[in-house]
Structure 1
Amino acid sequence: MSWSWEYLPSEEYVTKGAPTDFLAAVSVKADELVRAAEAQYLDGTTYEGAGEAMRYLDVAGGSFAYYVVPRLELVVVCQVTSPLM
């Protein structure tokens, strides 16, 4: 497996109405989170603990909520918030 990130339940649902500049900032930060998770969980597929709690991160133009699922080697972005939405 290879680490990645995705919107859940779907990109259309999570990002509806969000400015493209803001979504670009979310994408850049999500890529960074993937690299950090990959370094922390060298083989996420063998992880046996409870998953991480949801976290919130500020980016240019707003913030987003995410959580890490080590066993799936996945960072999930589940909410984006921008005052321009």
Structure 2
Amino acid sequence: MSWSWEYLPSEELVAGGAPAAFLTAIEQKAIEQKATELVRVAEALHLDRTTHEGSGEPMRYLDVAGGLVAYYVVPRLELVVICQVTPPPA
């Protein structure tokens, strides 16, 4: 397996309703770059994911383009899950 990231439950439910310009900025730059960075960090912190015990890390928040992205890491699945995208105030 190799580390990756995804929206949960789906991109439409996580990011739906946010302004198109904000989502474009996030998807093209911020989320993919930040998620890739999160994946690298998670991979480094959990070199041997098979020895990980427990439910994983708590929910974390990342400031992206004036908005927030909520995510958590699932070491056993080698996965960073993005579960909420909050656009900046209008």
TM-score range, shorter-chain basis? Answer: 0.7 to 0.9
Measure, in 2, the Cα distance between the counterparts of 1:50 and 1:20.
32
Partners of 1:83 and 1:60 in 2: CA distance? 8
Structure 1: which 5+ runs fail to align? none
**Counterpart position of 1:44:** 49
Give me the identity figure in percent. Answer: 71
1:55 alignment partner in structure 2: 60
How many residues matched? 85
Unaligned runs of 5+ in 2: none
The answer to whether 1:13 aligns with 2:18 is: no
Shift of 1:22: 2.3
Deviation of residue 84 (structure 1)? 6.4
CA distance in 2, matches of 1:79, 1:50: 19
DSSP 3-state at the match of 2:55: coil
Q: Tell me the TM-score normalised to structure 1 length.
A: 0.88
CA offset at residue 49 of structure 1?
Answer: 2.8
Question: CA contact under 8 A between 1:2 and 1:73: conserved in structure 2?
Answer: yes
Query: Are positions 1:22 and 2:23 aligned together?
Result: no
For residues 31-69 of structure 1, the C-alpha deviation after alignment (integer angstroms, 9 at most, x for no partner) is 100000001111223312331100111011411000000
Work out the CA distance in 2 between the residues paired with 1:30 and 1:60.
14
State TM-score, norm by structure 2: 0.83
User: Which residue does 2:75 correspond to in 1?
Assistant: 70
